[in-house]
Amino acid sequence: MNPNHLSEKEEEKNTMMDIDKPTSTSLGEESKETIMTKHVESSSATKEDDDGNPRKRRHLLPSDLKVDFDVSQLQILEKPAALEEKRGIIKFRVVANDDNPESFIMLTGLKNIFMKQLPKMPKEYITRLIYDRNHLSMTIVKDNLHVVGGITYRPFEQREFAEIVFCAIASTEQVRGYGSHLMNHLKDYVRGTSKIQHFLTYADNYAIGYFKKQGFTQEINLPKEIWMGYIKDYEGGTLMQCTMLPKIKYLEASVILSIQKAAVISKINKLTRSNIVYPGLDIFKNGPAHIEPNQVPGLMEVGWCKEMEELAKKPKPKPFFAVLEMLFTEMQNHPSSWPFAQPVNREDVPDYYEVIEHPVDLSTMEYRLRNNQYESVEEFIRDAKLIFNNCRQYNDPSTTYYKNADRLERFFQKQLMETEYSHLAE
């Protein structure tokens, strides 16, 4: 896990900043005198216009949106983390190793969180990167410089990407939405203060889901010559990339999505009658009764038909159906599955059904799966084992059929181990 650091020096400016600092909180005059601070309001990260003059990004205004309803009347539910920031409970600070005592306090607090939340990462390695002057850290800070989470990253501004090295929230502060809000802050800050447009990170199996929710993908389209040899390669990690959208302010993404949702609903209501609420049916006032579906007000208008009634009567798939479907598809597509695709032909092998008491093949398994006949994962596995065991019982070990059964069984067990039912594998 040695970092692939080259000797290239990145700019080390703006090493300690308050990001989106709430007006209700302050560091105090003494702190302002001793700490190099740059206030960056959530909507005012500066960029240059076409003439090279600095310009400010502004908040999204109703006039910017081409919608046919009053945006100001739209009720947008703010996330808990955003509300806590507005109330001054949490602050977001970008910190680097700039020899300032308060920087050391916050970096040390963040280091302790990473050591606890990332137990497989060597403590010496975490310490070295946290205090490395090429790295910056976006931290979530409460009163008295108490750090509750953060992201440590290394910017490669000339190459327009940054590597996220560590990302964690204290265990006592999770499920509050801090992780998403932290990443949104990082995106807006990095894009507003540099030329960086991409993030790369190596995620372990537990972190892949989080990064996917933050817009990361395992499809790397950034050319290798840009990042290869610059970022640290972790054994067992999954490389993921996030390319930031130039027109989106990520801290306002929920507002944009709420407006888009309202616009879609408004359009639907103009084209359909789905927004009409009908009163209850009087026929049921005196107890159970029968009524034809086409007599229910509004039902025909939403597209009801006889076929829908038949579909509704079909049994719902079992909770484990998706896993069984995946296992069956993988097994069916395996190169060694061809001898087991269909039932053994009685004319070709007359004595087969005298030797084999419970014959099973892939087409039979597929029929049972599609018709919801498997009551448990164990039943599905039992049928798969019958295919392999029947083949080995009837055929000599030197035959192709016997060898295909062995290969397919090994593959099946390997696929089963990768599911939540791995305890059933042999």
Q: Which residues are marked as active site? A: 163
Kind and range of the H or E element at 105? helix 101-117
> How far apart are alpha carbons 136 and 114 in whole angstroms?
14
Name the nearest CA neighbour of 384 among 374, 396, 399.
374
Asked if 412 and 331 touch (Cβ cutoff 8 Å), the reply is yes
Number of H helices and E strands in the chain, helices first, is: 14, 10
Distance of alpha carbon 164 from the chain centroid: 16
Three-state SS string across 178-223, please?
HHHHHHHHHHHHHHHHCCCCEEEEEECCCCHHHHHHCCCECCCCCC
Give the three-state DSSP class for 98. Answer: coil
CA distance 381 to 256: 47
Measured CA to CA in angstroms, residue 319 lies from 236, 316, 322, 375 at distances of 30, 9, 7, 10
Q: Is 99 left (phi over 0), alpha (psi -120 to 50) or beta?
A: left
What single letter denotes the amino acid at residue 132? D
Instruction: Compute the distance between CA of residue 339 and CA of residue 212 in angstroms, rounded to an integer.
Output: 40
What HEC string does 344-369 produce?
CCCCCCCCHHHHCCCCCCHHHHHHHH
128-143 as b/e, with b when 16 or more CB fall inside 10 Å? ebbebebbbbbbbbee
Q: How far apart are CA 184 and CA 189, in angstroms?
A: 8
Residue labelled with tokens 């409970």: 89
357 — phi, psi (to 5°)? Answer: -80, -40
